[in-house]
Amino acid sequence: MVKAIILAAGKGTRMKSELPKVLHTIFDKPLLGYVLDAVKNSNIVDYSYVIVGHKSELIKEYVEKEYSEAKTIIQEPQLGTGHAVSMARNDLENYEGEVIILCGDTPLIKSETIKSLVDFHKNNNSDITVMSAIFENPTNYGRIIRSKDNSLDAIIEEKDASLEQKQIKEINAGIYCLNWAKVKRVFSELKNNNAQGEYYLTDIIKWGKENNLNVNAYTLSDNNEIFGINSRKHLAEATKILHDEIIAQHLDNGVTIVSPETTFISPETEIGRDTIIYPNCYINGKNKIGSNCKIGPFAHLRGNVEIEEYVKIGNFVELKKAKVKSHTNICHLSYVGDAEVGENVNIGAGTITANYNPLTKIKSKTIIEDNVKIGSNSVLVAPVTIKEGANVGAVGVITKDVEPWSLAVTRSPLKVLEGWVKKQLKHD
């Protein structure tokens, strides 16, 4: 198996934020999470090392919570990309396989591309492989200089490139695959004799050539995958790219999306065919929506939502950590969170599952069994179970379990004061 080193120590000054750059989100998922998932889903990497610096404790907390097969390593002081990779040397002291190096701010990289890079590296018996890309406008990028045999000869930065070299459209994409046993000693031999006084990762190419290693470049097919985030504008652009990819995939899979421009769906969401997503829906987190459902308009799925087939989620409905079985309707202006909802259930407009106790800070579950009918503007105070076939009258506040096929009513009896309005008018 392969190891991964992910560079995530930068502050991200242009983001103009107190939050580390790699923790900024797309669909509520940190940029770093996309890179870690791509590495994990390649099925060739068994462990990742995330090199951190600025506000390292925040990144460490995220990695430890979400990724058991990854750890953070602090780079302090931060002396360049080559120095960052060297921070993992102690952990990899006795490792002799391949190491891939990626950037934590490139959320569009795909697991298939990572696997293809490693396959290319092995098939060509490479010691160092650099990922490259062809840009029509390569300005500001390091140029890939190839030898006559098509191997990689050098990476020349723009400021050092000749006029002829500046015409080259193949650029350094910033992702590497290394034969660690042969290359690891370079990280104790890099020099920092440059204007910034830093140790550059790109210098390993020159070192590899000087030490008669096999150095190659693997050309990326989709340039969007190496789109790096350095500003809020870049973040919005990456979100748009990912959004368009996701929408296109669902359309190809038989999902109707009435307004692709106003519909946002996370990459971890599965949707069955013949489901209709109406305009202005926001679906983030990991969800599974069955076939022949109707979602929205203006619905919000916040993650950990499982919806079976033939379910209707009405306008301005919010779901979070909810399981909804088939042929169930959750009508407009309702919130259903931390809940299990059975088959053939009708939840009236304005219904709320009150799942959070602000004093104990505990979230509790609401269970609504099959064939239940909940009247409009009801509040189900968790933990509570509405058992099979029961009905809850409108404006019900339910604080204890309701037995099967029962009617639960909590509102006061209606009083009608005849002639009250006329009396008031005469009095005035």
Rounded CA gap, 30 and 59, in Å?
Answer: 10
Q: CA-to-CA distance for 353 and 336, rounded, in angstroms?
A: 5
Q: Which of 250, 355, 271 is nearest to 313 (CA)?
A: 271
Does 297 sit behind a cis peptide bond, omega within 30 degrees of 0 on the bond before it?
yes
- Kindly state the tokens that stand for 391: 């009905």
Q: Which of 100, 106, 96 is nearest to 48 (CA)?
A: 100
Structure tokens at 342: 């059975």
3 state DSSP class of 83: helix
Q: What is the DSSP string of 306-338?
A: EE-SS-EE-TT-EEEEEEE-SS-EE-TT-EEEE
Query: Do 374 and 392 touch, CB atoms closer than 8 A?
Result: yes
Nearest Cα neighbor of 353 from 318, 328, 402, 405 is 318
Residue 338 tokens read as: 């931390």
Q: Which residues are catalytic?
A: 332
Residue 352 structure tokens:
């709320």
Whether residue 383 contacts residue 399, with contact meaning beta carbons closer than 8 Å, is answered with: no
d(CA 184, CA 152): 19
Reduced to 3 states (helix: H, G, I; strand: E, B; else coil), residue 242 is: helix
- 108 to each of 115, 246, 324, how far by Cα in Å? 15, 12, 31
Closest CA to 209 of 150, 285, 290, 128: 128
The β-bridge partners of 366 are 339, 384
Encode burial over 402-424: b for 16+ CB neighbours within 10 A, e otherwise: beeeeebeeeeeeeeeeeeeeee
Cα(80)–Cα(183) distance, integer angstroms: 18
- Supply 58's token pair: 């925040």
